Structure 1
Amino acid sequence: MEGIRKLALVCLLILIFAVPTDGLWSIAGLSLVKISGLLLFGMVALLLISGDGLRGSPWFLIAVTAYICWMLFSYLWTWMPVNYETSLAINSQQSIKGHLYLFMLVLLAFQVIRTEQDLNFALAAYLLGAIGLIYFLVSGYDPTSTTVRHEIKGFDANETSLQLALGLPMAWYLLLTTKSWLLRSLSLIYIPLALFGIFITGSRTGFITALLGFMGVLPWLWRARFIWKIAVLGFFIAAVVGVTNFVPEKTLERLFSSGTELSQGTLSSRSITWSRAWLEINEAPFVGNGLSSFRRVINKYNIDYTAHNSYISIMVEQGIVGLLLYLAVIVVVLLQSLRIPAEQRLLMISLLLIAVAGQFTLTLNEKMFIWFAYLFVVLKASLLEVPSINLTMAHQWRTA
């Protein structure tokens, strides 16, 4: 049985690795995400058949189940239960498949990840996948280009930057809590690479959420000896200076205008879309307009965009009920994070905050990388064997 679980863990790690670059890695015409997902499902099915019991965090599973069921139930009153006129929109059938896939992913992850080492491997797999995303992002990159934003063809630059930002607290977590020099080295490599990738996308969302990615390290740094404070500060300054030297001036100007855009701008016309969306929310405040209906109902205002806000999108499509159920998932994750040992807690909370904050300007409630962020926090809190806190790097900082 343990052998089957380890094979399932390998499949899960491949899936996590493939998520950031979904569609860019494929075998025989099938994406690596689909292949690994099918293999993972098969392995976990064998585990259950062989007598392994269901595992999971009860409150998290209840919250997720309630949210997913309401999403699927809203198909009954959707405006458009068939394909939209535009290929840019996800139709209702696709959304049903996506939500079911997310639900299965949550269940399967709990069956497979059972130790701290398993979780560390999962975080490392995400970082490796994000490095792969950076590779595709920088391929053909020209620092002398006049282009303000650099992106991968077929990928949204804002989503790319947010995925990279999510990796920052994971990298700090591995750097500060593991004994493996291989994992620590991966983390040290990832941090400057992620900053470079975020900067060249020109994404204000990525820039702001990247700052949250450094929040979790502050308590560790505060308690460290002076020499370690200087070392970390020097590393951070060197990374930022090195990164900005290869970023076009126009891109930097765009990033550093984030505060002005928040206080005086329209958030790249997002506020216009949101104001029209509120009109539709008032039409069906409690149950919404149905699954994947946002583009359809907003089109009459000559707007052909997503909501660029998960919470407003849910309100339009599933009403107040749907939003409350989604917020319940986030609240449960937050409450679970409070069970995590103190020195590691803020690292995981910063991961959650990046996922939550990023959804104020992007529609990501159906994205797997967002749900991985939720999962990693809950898995950390609900591991069957939670060892005493591993001070490793923190201990070195104090005693050096």
Structure 2
Amino acid sequence: MISLAYALLWIFVFSMPWERILVLPGIAIVPRVTGGLALGITLFAVVVSGRLRRWHGFHVAAVLFWIWAGANLLFFHSGVRLPAKFWTYGQLLLVVWMIWELAPSERRLRGLLTAYVFGAYIAAIDTLLIYRTQAAALRRFAAGGGDPNDLAMVLALGVPMAWYLGMTYRQPVLAWVCRVYLPLAVVAIGLTGSRGGMVATTVALLTVPLSMTRLSPGRLAMSMAMLGVAGALAVAYVPDTIVQRLLTIGSELEGGRIGGRGKLWEAGLEAFVHKPVAGYGTGHYRQAIFPILAGASQVAHNSYISVLVEQGIVGFLLYMTMLLSVFRAVLKLPVLERRFAIVVLATLGVAMLPLTWEDRRAVWVVLALLLGFSQARVADTRGAARQPLPPESVPVTARPRTRRALGRPAVPHLNDAQDVRA
């Protein structure tokens, strides 16, 4: 039963990067179906077994954040209907719990990382196919016709995952499949034309030099060659118009425009001052900045400011507690895993800066996987510490039995008698 639920969870994670390729009107069908089936089977298995894993502080903070997101609307904004974003938080909480229950071991967690990388492969390949067939009609390219910025961040998160799996898999085929993802992802991210995506990719690629101290000379040469191939392919296939767009990253940052996001952030911070404790309620960022921007309002395009304005300082602290608890947990990992986890967290943190991603599956799934890795390692360490040591081989010397000890006269041994006669 648990194995079936894990298989469905694997498909759920696998479908996340390319969920917009196969959709019904407004619904990503594969994640919905597999996620729902996995949840139902997991609940049944837990009820039958009667066992639950002890929660981490991350889970407590996540539950409190969700409760606050609902209570905030009910008590401080009475009469407001609970928006879809609130229920999305609840669904993400269930996904996090399923990963916690179904993937307690490092092997299963590595399997879910592989599922994400394989799914990112499909999204990257579909982006390349769209470029080949519609290069003359489109300026930016994204799998399934989705948002190029979102896709770029999703693909960037897969870069450190693929590199880590390529270093740790013992099967050569799987290892090389994961390594080849790097140049493919770099080209696909370049085709999206996402400036934030390129910044996140730069952070993600730090996993390569940070792991070089653990590489043999042969693997070190292979790593340098892989980076060279990625750069060469990006230069060869990314159109000049997109390259010119990517080169404006510095000027956008210096001018504070950041693709028009700067004014949205300033308006959000100004609105926050008026309701700093409770905020404006889940999903109400547009309404919060509407008076400030004279009727022109959008979503925050910044996850941190979005949470701060919608949930107030209380909800913001709970959300940041989730992130910080995972960061503290991964610091206990061995060197290679710790560097991998920190790079993934850094990539995620950068991805959340220009996007409203606080309620995206990728964020919550990545946090759950990294937390799972840290706890799986701790469990292995504790298990090894509790395992009893094998008994030492102590020579057993038979104590000679004497008849005198039994109250009878002792009879000398034959050898003893010979020694006496001698």
Question: TM above 0.5, one fold?
Answer: yes
Question: Is 2:13 the counterpart of 1:8?
Answer: no
SS, match of residue 356 in structure 1: helix
CA distance in 2, matches of 1:34, 1:78: 30
Distance 2:147 2:343 in 1: 23
* Cα separation, 2, equivalents of 1:78 and 1:130: 40
Identity %: 25
The alignment covers a number of residue pairs equal to: 376
Correspondence for 1:386 among 380, 383, 388:
380
CA distance in 1, matches of 2:361, 2:103: 17
Instruction: Flag structure 1 segments of 5+ consecutive residues without an equivalent.
Output: 83-91, 389-400
- 2:315 maps to 322
Query: Which residue of structure 2 lines up, in the alignment, with residue 248 of structure 1?
Result: 239
Aligned to 2:113: 123
Structure 1: 4+ residue segments shifted above 6 A: 27-30
Q: Which moved more, 1:260-269 or 1:116-125?
A: 260-269
CA-to-partner distance for each residue in 1:154-192, whole Å, 9 max, x for gaps?
Answer: 521111000000001110110112212343122123111
Q: TM-score, normalised by structure 2?
A: 0.83
Q: How does 1:141-290 map to 2 (within 5 A)?
A: 141-142=131-132, 145=136, 147-152=138-143, 155-290=146-281
Find the aligned partners of 2:263 and 2:196 in 1 and give their Cα distance.
18
Name the counterpart of 1:357: 350
Q: Which moved more, 1:231-240 or 1:22-31?
A: 22-31
Which sits farther off after the overlay, 304-313 or 147-156?
A: 147-156
Q: Secondary structure at the match of 2:380?
A: coil
User: Per-residue displacement from partner, 1:324-360 (whole Å, max 9, x unpaired)?
Assistant: 1111101001001111111211101111111111111
Q: Greater relative contact order (Cα 8 A, min sep 6): structure 1 or 2?
A: 1
Q: 2 CA distance for matches of 1:344 and 1:12? A: 23
**1: CA distance, partners of 2:125 / 2:101:** 32
The answer to whether the Cα contact below 8 Å between 1:166 and 1:351 also exists between their aligned partners in 2 is: yes
Residue equivalent to 1:377: 370
Deviation of 1:218 (Å): 2.0
Aligned equivalent of 2:407? none
Please tell me whether the aligned partners of residues 12 and 36 of structure 1 are also in contact (alpha carbons under 8 angstroms).
Answer: yes
Whole-Å separation in 2 of the counterparts to 1:145 and 1:26: 26
Alignment of 1:5-84 (within 5 A): 5-25=2-22, 31-76=29-74, 77-78=76-77, 81-82=80-81
In angstroms, what is the RMSD of aligned CA positions?
Answer: 2.3
Report which stretch shifted further, 32-41 or 17-26.
17-26
Separation in 2, partners of 1:151, 1:346: 30
Structure 2 unaligned residues grouped into runs of 5+: 383-422
Q: Against the structure 1 CA distance between its residues 41 and 264, is the aligned structure 2 distance closer, same or farther, given a 3 Å change threshold?
A: same
Instruction: For residue 26 of structure 1, report the CA deviation from its aligned partner.
Output: 5.2
CA offset digits 1:192-250 (Å, max 9, x no partner): 11111110011111101111112223232134344433331122111210222111112
**Of the candidates 109, 129, 134, which is equivalent to residue 139 of structure 1?**
129
| Bigger CA radius of gyration | 2
Distance 1:320 1:30 in 2: 33
Q: Does residue 284 of structure 2 align to residue 299 of structure 1?
A: no
User: After superposition, what is the alpha-carbon deviation per residue over 1:127-171, rounded to whole angstroms, capped at 9, x for unaligned?
Assistant: 111122223323331486485422346521111000000001110
Q: Which residue of 1 aligns with 2:331?
A: 338
* Contact 1:18/1:25, CA 8 A, preserved across alignment: no
Question: Is 2:83–2:282's contact at 8 Å kept on the other side of the alignment?
Answer: no
Establish whether residue 98 from structure 1 lines up as the match of residue 88 from structure 2.
Answer: yes
